[in-house]
Chain A
Amino acid sequence: DGGITQSPKYLFRKEGQNVTLSCEQNLNHDAMYWYRQDPGQGLRLIYYSQIVNDFQKGDIAEGYSVSREKKESFPLTVTSAQKNPTAFYLCASSHRGLAGNTGELFFGEGSRLTVL
């Protein structure tokens, strides 16, 4: 079945380590997104990509990096520069770019990162 797969579901890391979260989609969507969610809060946009080899910063990009070498993949690296990395990370994709009229977002099941 088509969908978005995030891995790992749970991840622990020590302070000062970089960690990469995987996001793969087989929906043939052009656009992909990363959101962060803290307890009791809404989602905040980290990075988004509307096309292969191109991506844009969202509202809270500091301390994160992404790449978009393939249409179906949009990995997120949480670097040691991110001061409060413990959070729930959600990846999403849409059929059209952000400016499209019918860009319904499909979300993965999330990755929960805990920094020890």
Chain B
Amino acid sequence: DAKTTQPPSMDCAEGRAANLPCNHSTISGNEYVYWYRQIHSQGPQYIIHGLKNNETNEMASLIITEDRKSSTLILPHATLRDTAVYYCIVRVAPTGKLIFGQGTTLQVKP
């Protein structure tokens, strides 16, 4: 079973920041949090990952709480092309498997 909990859907206005929450209360100390997104009928696209510290790249920022039990993916200026299903995934130790849940469907509206 997936080890993460995400809201099934969210809306965001175009140009605003999209903040997607994820709970992973059973995460272990050596497990990473990964975020992927999937546009309909395409392969998932990697966004970002982190262990303890906050991370930022050209696509998004990842904020991980100090106790590591939850995280937030931030898309700073959402566009219509960011409409997709966003998956928060904990990398399972020791095998390192990525277990996908059902994700959050983000709808960016004009």
Contact = CB atoms under 8 A, between A and B. Distances in A.
A42 B102 contact: yes
Interface string B26-64: 000000101010000111111001000000000000000
B2 A42 contact: yes
B96 A90 contact: no
B95 A99 contact: yes
Contacts, number: 54
A58 B98 CA distance: 10
A41 B85 CA distance: 10
Indicate the size class of the contact surface on chain A.
20 to 34
B45 A107 contact: yes
A68 interface: no
Interface string A100-111: 110111111110
Range, interface on chain B: 20 to 34
Contact of A88 (B34, B41, B102): B41
Contacts of B34: 104
A34 interface: no
Interface string A73-116: 00000000000000010101000011111011111111010000
Given A42-B2, A58-B97, A110 B32 contact: no
A61 interface: no
Q: What 9 A-B pairs are tightest by C-beta distance, nearest first?
A: A107-B43, A98-B96, A42-B100, A43-B100, A99-B96, A42-B102, A104-B46, A42-B101, A107-B44
Interface of A: 4, 35, 40-45, 48, 58-59, 88, 90, 92, 97-101, 103-110, 112
Interface of B: 2, 32, 34, 36, 41-46, 49, 87, 91, 93-103
